[in-house]
Every structure is written in structure tokens, then in C-alpha cells.
Amino acid sequence: MSIKFPALNYKRIAKVAKHLGFYLVRRAKGSHEVWRRDLDKRQTTIPNHGNKTIRRGTLKTILDDFGITLEGLNKILKDL
């Protein structure tokens, strides 16, 4: 059985990013933000569309940039 992607908005994914050691570097084009982690030089762009749910493909790309799996995300969400 496959694990479903959770419906996350900007606030939730930003909390996950902070939990993983990422910090906001700058605002990018439009409503997007660039987040970085100095430990391993990982970087990702997170759309800030308020309470709108982040699309599944975008969320998958962000998780890849974070270096975590869907199972890892679900574990972090339980801790937050």
C-alpha cells in the first residue's frame, strides 16, 4: 500500500523546513521564497500562496530538495 501525500500549505511546509535546519534566504520571483541549509548546501524554492494547498508534484520536488522521503515527512509532521 502506498502512502498518500499530505495536503500541506505554506505554513506547514515552512515549519518542516525550519525543523530540518533550513532558513529563508530571500524572496524570489512573485510569491516564491528561497530556503537554504548551510550544513549540506541544500536549497529549495517554496511557493507562498497563503492557505492554498501545495500541489503534489511541487511537494515532491521540495521533499527531494530537503533530502527526505514521504515517510520522513509524515514522521516530522507527527512531531510538530
Strand (E) or helix (H) holding 13:
helix 10-19
Judge whether 4 lies within some domain: no
Tally the domains of the chain: 1
Residue 19 C-beta-side C-alpha neighbours within 13 Å: 16
pLDDT at residue 32 in the model: 95
Average pLDDT, rounded, for the chain: 93
Residue 42 C-beta-side C-alpha neighbours within 13 Å: 17
Q: What is the residue range of 27's domain?
A: 10-79
Specify the CATH number for the domain of residue 27: 3.30.920.30
Global pTM reads: 0.89
Judge whether 48 lies within some domain: yes
Judge whether 69 lies within some domain: yes
Judge whether 5 lies within some domain: no
Interatomic CA distance for residues 50 and 14, integer angstroms: 11
The predicted-structure confidence for 56-74, as pLDDT tens digits, reads as follows: 999 999 999 999 999 999 9
Mean pLDDT on 42-57: 94
Pairing mode of beta strands 23-27, 42-47: unpaired
Q: Inform me whether the pLDDT recorded for 1 exceeds 80.
A: no
Mean pLDDT on 23-37: 94
